[in-house]
């Protein structure tokens, strides 16, 4: 048999431990259900392992073309994960790199955030103290070559893989700097880049502190502590923790953050799984860093998941703060990591987590069998907070105060989609010596209007899609078949009359939208959002990502509502009052 012995060893390394675990449990004997893997006993497991080895051997020997046996085995493992929940995965390559970056809090690179702007690879922001920052790469710089490879048409994934690399190795970037109208070359030595997932914190004039957390990685709790200490030294009167768009990360960091905000000895979380070590009860262990009467609000949205939901759910269950925003994602599962070798990892769901009230917030079961949600999606399950408020289980965290972020007008969405704000800022700021804090004057606004004359912005005004559907519907009414055996001439006359009627019906609408498009830049509802877009991207170029986040809060309705609640302590306490809360969740106008 020609099967490579190393492949056989790898197969056995991966699958035999699974066989041993099943044997210990006496086999999985639950009834068969849709998408469910069932082995009736350990002997069946052994038979299937032998079947897998035989199948691999046959394909390796007999397939018409040569095959990559390693890739076949990887595909087999990935296939084994498919009937399970979507968070149980086989990770290799870039997916494992992202996990490693989360667990270690660093990676080998030059320290820049990049994106595609108008089909061009563009630097959004260099990280402070990184090789890119030190050597003078700016926000808005356009990367046209990475070493000897042109970036035209390159994907973000491909660009990132070329820029990252071994510590101490060198990468050459050729960039075009719009403000200077010339190419520059940077020779950058890759270094350990520390990931900053607490990108901004600050206190406003009213004493309200704000901390944004974008991910729960190795350094997040440590950076949160630094932020909390800094804000406390500035005598903050309330704290906003922004978890919007935060998809989660390391459970341990979420618990460490809660430990800094809650009384010692309180239960923060329970996890339950099939094996003993998955069953844990996590309590707060330290004296909190801030007074426990300090009012707190946590901002969440549909993209807040996993560890973000743990923080929000625990704060809510302990009546430690007010949750504001929209309902969260609904992931109540915990994953454990098992390294198979240096380049591959298994991420396996090993437990469910329960907040202090006993809630499991997992959304509707992916397997359609009720196992992952404990049936919470099938009924209106209510739980009670520490102070007696009723909260729901299943389907995510429901905010105490529900409010949606204001939606940008279509024209402004088009400007952001095209990357126009940063393109303008990268050119305008250096040439005009703009300094922080950025104020959008009438001159800047007028200059931006002139700048836009060279660009065509793609967007749809309200009703334009319906107009298109109307035109299609009217066209379909011109049916030549209804003319029966009429002559070709009579058919043409009918078509011409119908076409004229059709054009008259839609011509006025077309002129209306043409006029509306011509005035979008000075439309009152657009002006404040255009100015905010300019202020954000010009602040980014002038002073970096922290300043961009700070000014973005000026037109953030959810943040402003949280700030107002924290400044009105009576209102804050009323929201946490069971008598007021148990009737219904508060809903605020958008």
The two beta strands, 170-177 and 182-189, are: antiparallel
As a dihedral over the C-alpha atoms of residue 307, residue 312, residue 318, residue 320, rounded to 10 degrees, the angle is: 130
pLDDT above 90 covers what percent of the chain?
65
pLDDT value at position 395? Answer: 86
Whether 131 contacts 189, CB under 8 Å: yes
Convert the pLDDT of each residue in 222-277 to its tens digit: 999 999 999 999 999 999 999 999 999 999 999 999 999 999 999 999 999 999 99
Give SS3 for 291: coil
Return the exposure string of 85-110: e unless at least 16 CB atoms fall within 10 Å of the residue's CB, then b.
Answer: bebbbbbbeeebbebebbeebbbbbb
Convert the pLDDT of each residue in 74-93 to its tens digit: 898 898 888 888 899 999 88
At 211, which helix (H) or strand (E)?
strand 208-212
Convert the pLDDT of each residue in 264-316 to its tens digit: 999 999 999 999 999 999 999 999 999 999 999 999 999 999 999 999 999 99
Using alpha carbons, select from 110, 160, 108 the residue that is nearest to residue 131: 110
Convert the pLDDT of each residue in 389-410 to its tens digit: 999 888 899 999 999 998 999 9
Whether 162 contacts 171, CB under 8 Å: yes
CA distance to 76, 126, 194, per residue, from 533 (Å): 48, 20, 28
Structure tokens at 288: 């909190």
pTM: 0.85
pLDDT value at position 373? Answer: 67
State the catalytic residues: 306, 317, 331
pLDDT value at position 468? Answer: 65
Examine the pLDDT at 473 and tell me if it is beyond 70.
no
Long-range contacts of 471-475 (CB under 8 A, 24+ apart): 471/502, 471/506, 474/502, 474/505, 474/506, 475/502
Least confident of 134-138, 165-169, 173-177, 371-375: 371-375
Query: How large is the average pLDDT for residues 582-588?
Result: 47
């Amino acid at each position: 048999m020609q099967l490579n012995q190393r492949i056989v060893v790898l197969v056995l390394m991966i699958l035999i431990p699974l066989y041993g675990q099943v044997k210990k449990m006496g086999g999985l004997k639950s009834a068969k259900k849709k998408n469910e893997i069932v082995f009736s006993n350990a002997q069946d497991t052994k038979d299937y392992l032998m079947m897998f080895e035989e199948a691999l051997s046959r394909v390796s020997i007999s397939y018409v073309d040569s095959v990559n046996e390693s890739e076949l085995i990887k595909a087999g493992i990935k296939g084994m994960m498919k009937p399970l929940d979507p968070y149980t995965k086989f990770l290799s390559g870039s997916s494992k790199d992202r996990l490693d970056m989360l667990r270690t809090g660093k990676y080998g690179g030059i320290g820049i955030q990049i994106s595609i702007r108008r089909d061009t690879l563009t630097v959004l922001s260099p990280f402070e103290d990184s090789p890119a920052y030190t050597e003078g790469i700016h926000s808005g710089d356009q990367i046209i070559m990475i070493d000897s490879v042109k970036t035209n048409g390159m994907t973000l994934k491909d660009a990132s893989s070329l820029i990252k690399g071994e510590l101490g190795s060198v990468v050459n970037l050729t960039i075009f700097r719009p403000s200077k109208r010339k190419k520059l070359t940077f020779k950058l030595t890759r270094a350990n880049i520390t990931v900053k997932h607490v990108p901004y914190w600050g206190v406003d004039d009213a004493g309200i502190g704000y901390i944004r957390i974008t991910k729960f990685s190795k350094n997040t709790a440590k950076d949160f502590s630094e932020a909390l200490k800094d804000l406390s030294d500035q005598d903050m009167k309330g704290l906003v923790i922004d978890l919007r768009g935060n998809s989660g990360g390391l459970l341990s960091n979420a618990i460490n953050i809660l430990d800094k905000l809650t009384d010692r000895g309180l239960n923060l979380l329970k996890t339950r799984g099939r094996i003993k070590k998955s069953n844990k009860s996590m309590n707060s262990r330290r004296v909190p860093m801030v007074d426990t009467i300090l009012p707190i609000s946590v901002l969440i949205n549909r993209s807040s998941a996993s560890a973000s939901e743990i923080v929000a759910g625990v704060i809510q269950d302990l009546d430690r703060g007010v949750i504001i925003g929209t309902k969260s994602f609904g992931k109540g599962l915990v994953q454990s990591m098992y390294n198979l070798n240096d380049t591959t990892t298994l991420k396996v769901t090993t437990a469910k987590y329960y907040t202090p009230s006993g809630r499991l917030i997992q959304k509707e079961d992916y397997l359609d069998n009720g196992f992952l949600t404990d049936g919470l999606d099938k009924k209106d399950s209510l739980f009670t907070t520490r102070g007696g408020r009723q909260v729901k289980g299943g389907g995510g965290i429901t905010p105490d105060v529900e409010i949606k972020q204001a939606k940008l007008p279509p024209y402004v969405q088009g400007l952001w989609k095209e990357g126009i704000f940063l393109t303008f800022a990268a050119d305008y700021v250096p040439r005009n010596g703009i300094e922080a804090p950025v104020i959008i004057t009438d001159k800047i606004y007028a200059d931006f209007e002139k700048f836009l004359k060279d660009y065509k912005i793609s967007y749809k005004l309200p009703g334009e899609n319906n107009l298109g559907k109307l035109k299609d519907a009217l066209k379909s009414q011109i049916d030549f078949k209804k003319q029966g055996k009429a002559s070709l001439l009579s058919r043409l006359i009918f078509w011409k009359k119908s076409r004229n009627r059709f054009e008259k019906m839609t011509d006025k609408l077309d002129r209306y939208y043409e006029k509306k498009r011509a005035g979008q830049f000075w439309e009152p509802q657009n002006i404040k959002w255009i100015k905010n877009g300019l202020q954000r991207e010009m602040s980014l170029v002038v002073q970096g990502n922290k300043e961009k986040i700070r000014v973005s809060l000026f037109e953030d309705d959810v943040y402003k509502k949280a700030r107002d609640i924290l400044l009105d302590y009576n209102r804050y306490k009323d929201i946490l009052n069971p008598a007021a809360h148990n009737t219904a969740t508060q809903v605020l106008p958008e």
